[in-house]
A and B are shown apart, each in its own frame.
Chain A
Amino acid sequence: MAVQETTYRDALRLALSEAMTADDSVIVMGEEVGRYGGAYGVTRDLIKEFGEERVIDTPISEAAIVGAAVGAAMTGLRPVAELMYVDFIGMTMDQLANQAAKIRYMFGGQIGVPMVLRTQGGTGRSAGAQHSQSLEGYVMHTPGLRLAMPATVEDAYHLLRQSLRQPDPVLFIEHKGLYTMKSTLDPDAEPAPWGKAKVLRDGADLVIVTYSRQVHHALAAAETLASEGIHASVVDLRTLNPLDFDTIRPLVETAGRAMVVSEAVMTCGVAAELSARITEECFDFLEDPVVRVAGEDIPISVSPLLEQNSVPTPDLIVETARKMFA
């Protein structure tokens, strides 16, 4: 495949299409994934390429979609199930947390559940309180589930291909605000290893640890801060399970200051966990408390004004950094 200018959405589709071509056991199933082409267009035309036996339109039955994927994965298929919005994860939680996550362990290692559950979350489309959440904390709180959250076009492709090679169940959470983002993709380039974070910007004063769409907010904020003499590193975690703390530690030990940025609500969230780890592991090196710049502890509003201000913005990241150095 040639190097190409493409979108996050098309990179995801390319990854699915290539995986299905390479391996007959890969199937796609979910609501509207076939004839409709996916609510956000990720699976568009896959049904024409691979047929309705491998691109399966399902009834609106999220629990059984995930449950069927579990059974399929245990019996030799490589299912990629789609949950249209991560907000619907509550409907599936038994199948995810009690079945998919625990089967290998409960059964003494006899079998794994190599399935991928693709979904998308986050704000940006005035989709309201039940279609805009960032629920990665539910997943990260469940041992046995891997969790990938691509921030870039490159990772939309490579992380999805890598997820499809994992021996354990992977939650793959896309961001609805990134689907039309364009960038260059080289499908043949050697990707960063699965489970490794990427340092997207170097800076010796402050480490900003983040993932998914907030990576872009953090990069924008870091640019502004650099012009004011505050040099921030930006770490894109890429996967939250595995969590690559080895990349974070030396950066924080050098900078002495760390900020965790996450769109999810703050309390008991991913940012809380990261903050606790950085505090425990790097305590002797810290000049300031590790700060969480996270979603407000409130539901998301439909009003674009309220919605945008419910989650971290580049301005909030900049303001927070200025206060740390004031």
Chain B
Amino acid sequence: MKNTTLPELYKDMRRVRTFEERVGELFVRGQSAGSMLHLSIGEESAAVGVCAQMRDGDTFTTHHRGHGIFLARGADPNRMMAEIAGKESGYCAGKGGSMHIADMGLGHLGANAIVGGGIPAVVGAGLSARHRNSGAISVAFFGDGATGQGILYESMNMAALWKLPVMFVCINNQYGMGTRIDQATANPNLHERALAFGLAARTVDGLEVEDVAEAAAGLIDGARAGKPAFLAVDCYRFFGHARKDKSPYRDEAEEAEGRKKDPVLRARDKLISTGLMSEADLDALDARVAEEMDASIDFAVAGKEPQMQSMFRDVYDPSQPEPEPVRTRLDRILAQG
């Protein structure tokens, strides 16, 4: 388990926020692979608070807005940014990108571009952990949008039925793309659904990262002991769904109000007011983080494009023949005539 003191939690949240800001910059500079980049600014406490309680050997899946979670679990920002740029030096050699980033070494079983698509994998990972008696848990991170998908309920039911070391973390940023949670469900008290399936479940306000970390600690201890859990973290998605979304479905007054719920600033203010860190210390820390994340852009931009022949690789195991390229096939067929 990591150090869960407020200075550590603050540093991790600042790294997530700055990384996300740099992802936005990468896009503006025209260096990202596409515009399907989903920033988790405003949601840092969910990623950092929960991940602070996870251990080496634990596994997890994320949704499409998962940069912060991966970073909080120890990802290298350089390789993340390179993947987001579609470069060979990225975590998935440029084939996955922002929405399909993964790293088996860190237990990241994959980000997912299908809403809810990564959730049932943690049930299987929970079966594995129990089979090997490894003591590991597996955590599914997803947004409030995924509570509209049946696969969540199938998975929670199995986890509860089989008493698996599994946790479901719903990062409720209030929006599934442009649809606000109260426009998508009659009962937005999302943890109540998990209670109905027999999971330990609660909702925590994401404003205070320490509250999230504390809530996660109790639920994760339970999950490790075979009492699967569900945690909803209430927060606000500061910006649009993806980079090209200007949020026409909500007004500026709402956004201004929502952005007051800023876990990073809140933690910063608290560090100063309690005397744990001085403003000068925090400025210096922020500057170091900015440097680290600036470097990730440089790394990504300088990275090589994948080689063309890598296109046919990894459809199947390397021991198997690769699929035949269209040109090769056509040349062979038409050469006969």
Which A positions have Cβ atoms within 8 angstroms of B? Answer: 25, 27, 53, 56, 58-59, 61, 63-64, 66-77, 79, 94-95, 98-99, 103-112, 143-144, 146, 166-168, 242, 280-281, 283-284
A48 to chain B, nearest CB (A): 19
Task: Please tell me which one of the listed residues B103, B125, B158, B315 contacts residue A110 in the complex, with CB atoms under 8 A apart.
Answer: B103
B102 contacts A72, CB within 8 Å?
no
Complexed CA–CA distance, A237 and B201 (Å): 51
A106 to chain B: closest residue by CB: B100
A105 to chain B: closest residue by CB: B314
Q: Does B109 contact A (CB under 8 A)?
A: yes
B102 contacts A73, CB within 8 Å?
no
Complexed CA–CA distance, A106 and B113 (Å): 11
Across the A-B interface, how many residue pairs have beta carbons closer than 8 Å?
161
- Chain A contacts for B333, CB-based, 8 A: 280-281, 283
* CB contact under 8 A between A95 and B100, given known A27-B127, A283-B336: no
B297 to chain A, nearest CB (A): 21
B161 contacts A59, CB within 8 Å?
yes
Complexed CA–CA distance, A26 and B131 (Å): 11
* CB contact under 8 A between A68 and B129, given known A94-B114, A107-B102: no
Q: Does B138 contact A (CB under 8 A)?
A: yes
How would residues 118 to 137 of chain B score, 1 for a CB under 8 Å from any chain A CB and 0 otherwise?
11111111111111100000
A53 contacts B131, CB within 8 Å?
yes
Instruction: List residues of B (83-129) whose CB comes within 8 Å of A's CBs.
Output: 90-96, 100, 102-104, 109-110, 112, 114, 117-129
Chain B, interface residues (CB within 8 Å), range: 35 or more
Complexed CA–CA distance, A30 and B313 (Å): 32
* CB contact under 8 A between A71 and B157, given known A27-B127, A109-B313: no
* CB contact under 8 A between A67 and B59, given known A105-B95, A111-B104, A284-B336: no
A194 to chain B: closest residue by CB: B320
A68 contacts B124, CB within 8 Å?
yes
A167 contacts B337, CB within 8 Å?
no
Complexed CA–CA distance, A284 and B119 (Å): 52
Complexed CA–CA distance, A26 and B119 (Å): 22
Between-chain CB contacts (< 8 Å), 21 pairs: A53-B130, A56-B127, A59-B157, A64-B120, A67-B155, A68-B120, A71-B61, A71-B123, A74-B104, A74-B125, A75-B109, A94-B117, A98-B114, A99-B121, A110-B103, A146-B316, A166-B317, A167-B316, A242-B321, A283-B333, A283-B336
* CB contact under 8 A between A284 and B318, given known A61-B157, A77-B131: no
Task: Please tell me which one of the listed residues B90, B118, B124, B315 contacts residue A77 in the complex, with CB atoms under 8 A apart.
Answer: B124
Instruction: List residues of B (307-337) whose CB comes within 8 Å of A's CBs.
Output: 313-321, 323, 329, 333, 336-337
Complexed CA–CA distance, A103 and B104 (Å): 12
Q: Does B150 contact A (CB under 8 A)?
A: yes
Q: Does B154 contact A (CB under 8 A)?
A: yes
Complexed CA–CA distance, A59 and B159 (Å): 11
Complexed CA–CA distance, A168 and B150 (Å): 27
Q: Does B151 contact A (CB under 8 A)?
A: yes
A77 contacts B155, CB within 8 Å?
no
Task: Please tell me which one of the listed residues A71, A144, A242 contacts residue B120 in the complex, with CB atoms under 8 A apart.
Answer: A71
- Chain B contacts for A146, CB-based, 8 A: 316
- Chain B contacts for A76, CB-based, 8 A: 128, 131-132
B161 contacts A110, CB within 8 Å?
no
Task: Please tell me which one of the listed residues B92, B124, B158, B329 contacts residue A74 in the complex, with CB atoms under 8 A apart.
Answer: B124
Task: Please tell me which one of the listed residues B94, B122, B151 contacts residue A108 in the complex, with CB atoms under 8 A apart.
Answer: B94
* CB contact under 8 A between A71 and B315, given known A59-B157, A106-B100, A107-B92: no
